[in-house]
């Protein structure tokens, strides 16, 4: 029996979840809107807002799950990767909380947790499967052999897919974070209106910096001819950029699926909330006979439920850490 309280604070979301014997009974997420004024996450501000949010978010999670502190059996937390100042708030709080309540501590890798989010709800993938993890900081194809036995078989050489979305949004004068807005505009645009080059990277790795430059020049050249080019074509530009990013992502997944002879394909991370990616993945699946796994929206972007479920599997293995544990901005996979 386990009742695990989990804390996620790797970037700009303060989140606390509770996992009762493998079932998520609370998942509270406090977003930080302050960064919208700056066009990106300001680490120092993120850390300060985590400090303000952490206690009320914990209290709300306990209320939602209808459990008392006394009923908890462990505290799980994101150790890394992420912004050090942000991680420090969650890690320090988890350590003091565990010390005060005499509970074991469970350290979780944020990138493992994005993948283990698939084990929150049915249908759950069976091992081995391939997972495309696409977030603001990472783009990876991961061969998942077991809950904590994972191998990165492809990753980005420069920008992450989320960055490609967000940087494009910035070029289009959309507010931060622009990824979800591109998604919204793309729904009413023509994905074949404009064509962008697909990077020629060998193997299973990605590169998005060339695409960003191509978009930048494309907008600059068109604005010279028509200063209203962006506003008059926003939906078509968004749909075309999204189409490019999604196809770059999925063509490599197709390659990996062939190479590893795996037909169970999952997606994880913030960008897996993207409608274009979800729809195109369904089309690939139909054509190639894949079984596809996509988490619910709320478990795609940063959340503590994924930390809690990862904590649940570590609790079963009794994989605990001591009070000497420290956060780490870069973490071994």
Query: Could you say which of 9, 135, 233, 242 contacts Zn ion (CB under 5 A)?
Result: 135
SS3 label, residue 73: coil
Burial label, 1 (beta-carbon count in 10 A; 0-12, 13-18, 19+) = exposed
| Phi–psi pair at 79, nearest 5 degrees | -90, -30
Contact range with ligand KG4 by CB under 6 A, out of 178-186, 282-290, 308-316, 325-333? 178-186
Please provide the DSSP assignment of 76-106 as one string: EEEEESS-HHHHHHHHHHHHHHHHHHT--EE
Residues numbered 268 to 307 that lie near Zn ion (CB under 5 A) are 302
Q: Taking CB under 6 A as the rule, does residue 136 contact ligand KG4? A: yes
Contact range with ligand KG4 by CB under 6 A, out of 142-150, 161-169, 251-259, 317-325? 161-169
SS3 label, residue 268: strand
Residues numbered 137 to 156 that lie near ligand KG4 (CB under 6 A) are 137
Q: How many residues bind ligand KG4 (CB under 6 A)?
A: 18
Q: Contact, 258 vs 131, CB < 8 A?
A: no
Residues numbered 85 to 104 that lie near ligand KG4 (CB under 6 A) are none
- Respond yes or no on whether the N-terminal peptide bond of residue 177 is cis (omega within 30° of 0): yes
Closest approach of ligand KG4 to the CB of residue 271, in Å: 4
Q: Taking CB under 6 A as the rule, does residue 125 contact ligand KG4? A: no
Query: Could you say which of 104, 177, 189, 311 contacts ligand KG4 (CB under 6 A)?
Result: 177
Q: Contact, 271 vs 179, CB < 8 A?
A: yes
Q: Where are the alpha helices (DSSP H) in the chain?
A: 43-65, 84-101, 110-116, 161-171, 179-186, 209-225, 229-260, 275-288, 305-316
Contact range with ligand KG4 by CB under 6 A, out of 57-65, 130-138, 202-210, 247-255? 130-138
Q: Taking CB under 6 A as the rule, does residue 40 contact ligand KG4? A: no
Q: Taking CB under 6 A as the rule, does residue 135 contact ligand KG4? A: yes
Q: How far is CA 78 from the centre of its chain?
A: 13
Site residues, ligand KG4 (CB under 6 A): 11, 135-137, 162, 165-166, 177, 179-180, 183, 269-271, 273-274, 301-302
């Amino acid at each position: 029996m386990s009742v695990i309280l989990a804390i996620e604070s790797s970037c700009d979301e303060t989140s606390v979840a509770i996992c009762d014997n493998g079932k998520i009974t609370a998942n509270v997420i406090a977003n930080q809107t302050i960064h919208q004024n700056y066009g990106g996450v300001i680490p120092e501000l993120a850390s300060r807002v985590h400090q303000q949010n952490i206690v009320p978010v914990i209290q709300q999670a306990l209320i939602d799950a209808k459990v008392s502190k006394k009923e908890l059996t462990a505290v799980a937390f994101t150790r890394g990767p992420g912004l050090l100042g942000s991680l420090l708030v969650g890690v320090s709080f988890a350590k003091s909380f565990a010390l005060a309540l005499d509970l074991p501590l469970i350290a979780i890798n944020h990138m493992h947790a994005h993948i283990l989010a698939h084990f929150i709800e049915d249908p759950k993938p069976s091992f081995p499967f391939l997972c495309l993890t696409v977030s603001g900081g990472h783009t990876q194809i991961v061969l998942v052999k077991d809950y904590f036995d994972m191998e990165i078989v492809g990753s980005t050489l420069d920008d992450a897919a989320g960055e490609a979305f967000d940087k494009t949004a910035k070029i289009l004068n959309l507010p931060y974070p622009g990824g979800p807005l591109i998604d919204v505009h793309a729904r009413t645009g023509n994905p074949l209106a404009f064509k962008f080059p697909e990077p020629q990277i060998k193997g299973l790795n990605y590169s998005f910096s060339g695409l960003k430059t191509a978009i930048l020049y494309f907008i600059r050249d068109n604005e010279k001819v028509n200063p209203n080019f962006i506003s008059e074509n926003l939906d078509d530009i968004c749909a075309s950029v999204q189409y490019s990013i999604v196809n770059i992502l999925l063509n490599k997944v197709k390659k990996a699926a062939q190479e590893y002879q795996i037909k169970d394909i999952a997606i994880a991370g913030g960008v897996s909330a993207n409608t274009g990616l979800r729809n195109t993945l369904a089309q690939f699946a139909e054509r190639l006979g894949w079984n596809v796994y996509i988490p619910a929206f709320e478990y795609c972007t940063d959340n503590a439920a994924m930390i809690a479920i990862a904590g649940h599997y570590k609790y079963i293995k009794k994989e605990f850490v001591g009070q000497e544990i420290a956060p780490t901005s870069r973490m071994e996979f």
